[in-house]
Amino acid sequence: MGAVNLAIIHYPVLDKRGDVVSTSINNLEIHDVARSCMTYGVDLCYIVTPLDRQRAIATQLVDHWRSGYGRQYNPDRAEALEKISIKKSLAEVTQELNGSQPVLIGTSSKRRENSIGYSELARWIPQDRRSFLLLFGTGWGLPPEIVSSCERTLLPIAGPGEYNHLSLRVAIGIILDRLFGDRKEANAQ
Amino acid sequence: MGAVNLAIIHYPVLDKRGDVVSTSINNLEIHDVARSCMTYGVDLCYIVTPLDRQRAIATQLVDHWRSGYGRQYNPDRAEALEKISIKKSLAEVTQELNGSQPVLIGTSSKRRENSIGYSELARWIPQDRRSFLLLFGTGWGLPPEIVSSCERTLLPIAGPGEYNHLSLRVAIGIILDRLFGDRKEANAQ
């Protein structure tokens, strides 16, 4: 079984009109996703934005908690933030992972032709020597050129109704739980 | 089957030393939880704090998105925020729900004597005419007096490792997915 990594894309992503835009990095997103990665054994979460100032702010945040007073005050948070790596582009991420030739898995709030279910992917990952890179689009999601570069796309998360506007932070937690959560532990007896 | 409601408690909750404290309401928490409640068919999410100023800010935020420009800009967000109700105390919540005599279910990052698994609770809820109120503690969790008032406590969420410091926003999404997520949809074929 290879490593499992995530990439959260801030550019290029779609806005509500379907135009390609850049979204802002968000402090809580970094903390929440880092803690989810720790909980579910994800190797690294890449936060991707081409904007220098955004990367500088994110790096400063991560450094604050990883060292100095932040680390002393809350070591669990420091440990989780070791999971975060700030990158300029998806190309930079895949270049770093290139030795492991990662399988690209997209995510979407819509069902796609190459959709794959959670249990199918959960069975596949431990059987493959390659690493996996799960891609998440902020804003209104990943643009077609990224979706089409993915080998498969995870099925959208469905609740009992029609509404499917989960926050990305929460959706990432749910997806990791469906793939790697300890379901045997999920019963008291 | 009765209604399912959530309550997010900002006071009384524990801090890292185990002292009882009050935590701040957080904008993103409200948005994220509202969207998770919409997705999984939860009736209402009560946000509980005795601090007048905190309730005023939260009410202002909710009103901004539920009416006027916020609603026009993002109607999905407005719809989700209909799920949020700001309350002064847990007593005020249970008083409002008293006609339905809700079953109180606690949540915790530790296993308790009265723990219940996710599939067991998922089977119970539709078979009971009473409503259910799931309680979530911010900070370092619910204090003993609230935990002991609960009929059962949900098992902690476990990943493959030992780390269990998920953010509350994310944990609520995962718990709702385990209880109400459409798992049949979770496979592509």
Task: Give the pLDDT confidence score for residue A10 in this predicted structure.
Answer: 97
For B184, which DSSP code? G
C-beta atoms of B166 and A116 within 8 A:
no
Return the closest-CA partner of residue B46 out of B102, B93, B105.
B93
C-beta separation of A150 from A106 below 8 A: yes
For B97, which DSSP code? T
Distance between CA atoms of B123 and B178, rounded to whole angstroms? Answer: 12
C-beta atoms of B39 and A115 within 8 A:
no
CB-CB neighbors (< 8 A) of A160 in chain B: 40-41, 180, 182
Nearest to B119 among A38, A169, A186 (CB): A186
Residue B184's pLDDT band, with cuts at 50, 70 and 90, is low
**Beta-strand relationship, B84-87 and B115-116:** unpaired
CB-CB neighbors (< 8 A) of A182 in chain B: 158-160
Distance between CA atoms of A147 and B56, rounded to whole angstroms? Answer: 43
Q: Which ranges of chain A have pLDDT less than 50? A: 186-189
Query: With 60 as the cut, is the pLDDT of residue B123 above it?
Result: yes
- pTM surpassing 0.90? yes
In this predicted model, what pLDDT tens digit does every residue of A22-67 receive, in sequence order? Answer: 999 988 889 999 999 999 999 999 999 999 999 999 999 898 888 8
How far, in Å, are A85, A95, A103, A104, A114 from residue A100 at the CA level? 17, 10, 9, 12, 23
Distance between CA atoms of B37 and A143, rounded to whole angstroms? Answer: 27
Nearest to B39 among A36, A164, A177 (CB): A164
* Helices assigned H by DSSP within A75-143: 75-81, 90-96, 118-127
- What is the ipTM for the molecules in this complex? 0.92
